[in-house]
Amino acid sequence: MEFELETRRKIYEQIKKSPGIHFRELERRLQMVVGNLQYHLQCLEKKNLIRASNDGDYVRYFVKDRSLSETERKIMSFLRRSGCRHILLQLLNNPDLNNKELSQVVGLSPSTVSWNLNKLVKAGIIEKEKNGRISKFTIVDPHAIAELLVCYKESFLDTLVDGFIEMWEFKNSK
C-alpha cells in the first residue's frame, strides 16, 4: 500500500510540475511500465485528483487544483508540442510572420508549419490575417503564453524556451 501511495504521489507531482503532459512523456520521465502507469492514473482520476483531457491527438493530464483556466490548459496542450511551441516562441518575438518565414526560422517543412498553424488558429490561440496570397500570423494573447512559459519553464526541457525567458525577463525588468 505504501509503495502504491508513493507511486501515485510521484505521478501527481510530475503532472503538477508539467501540466498538459501526455501519457508517453509521463511514462518516459517516471520510467514506469505502461500498465502500471495506466492503473495509477485511473486511480488518481477516480479520486478526483487529476483530469484527463483529449486534445484531438493526445490525452493530456492536469491536476484538479484549479490553478489553470480552461484557456490556459488549452494553451499548455499546444506548448507541450515542440513544433507548436517553437512557432509560438517565434511569433512572440516576431509578430506577423508568414508560413514561409516561420518554416525557415523553426526548421520545419512548410507543410508541417501549415498544419500546426491551422491547429493553433482553430483553437483561437493565434490569428491569421490574409493579405492577397500571403497570410500573416499573430498570437491572440501573447502575455498569457509568455506567463505560462515562464511559470513552467523547467517542465519544457527546451533551450529555445530558456532563451526566450531570459530575453522576456530582461525586457520586463526595464
Are 44 and 117 in a shared domain?
Answer: no
Report CA-CA distances (Å) from 155 to 16, 42, 119, 140, 163: 10, 23, 23, 23, 15
> Model confidence over 49-68: pLDDT tens digits?
998 988 888 889 998 876 78
Are 107 and 136 in a shared domain?
Answer: yes
Q: Above 60 in pLDDT, residue 170? A: no
Q: Which domain holds residue 38?
A: 1-65
Q: Quote the pLDDT of residue 114.
A: 94
CATH code, domain with 93: 1.10.10.10
| Mean predicted confidence (pLDDT) in 30-41 | 93
Q: Domain ends where: 11, 39, 65?
A: 65
Closest by alpha carbon to 63, among 109, 132, 13, 2? Answer: 13
Are 97 and 145 in a shared domain?
Answer: yes
Are 147 and 86 in a shared domain?
Answer: yes
Say how many domains are in the chain: 2
The confidence band for 147, taking pLDDT boundaries of 50, 70 and 90, is confident
> Model confidence over 154-168: pLDDT tens digits?
777 666 666 666 666
> Model confidence over 94-143: pLDDT tens digits?
888 999 999 999 899 999 999 999 999 999 999 999 988 889 999 999 98
Q: Quote the pLDDT of residue 125.
A: 95
Are 115 and 127 in a shared domain?
Answer: yes
Q: Quote the pLDDT of residue 67.
A: 77
> What is the average pLDDT score of the chain?
86
Are 61 and 72 in a shared domain?
Answer: no
Are 18 and 94 in a shared domain?
Answer: no
Are 77 and 155 in a shared domain?
Answer: yes
Closest by alpha carbon to 109, among 100, 117, 119? Answer: 100
Are 50 and 32 in a shared domain?
Answer: yes
| Mean predicted confidence (pLDDT) in 69-83 | 88
Specify the amino acid at residue 12. Y
The confidence band for 171, taking pLDDT boundaries of 50, 70 and 90, is low
| Mean predicted confidence (pLDDT) in 76-92 | 90
Report CA-CA distances (Å) from 106 to 50, 87, 92, 112, 129: 33, 7, 13, 11, 20
Q: Quote the pLDDT of residue 129.
A: 93
Are 99 and 85 in a shared domain?
Answer: yes
Q: Domain ends where: 33, 65, 97?
A: 65
Q: Above 90 in pLDDT, residue 87? A: yes
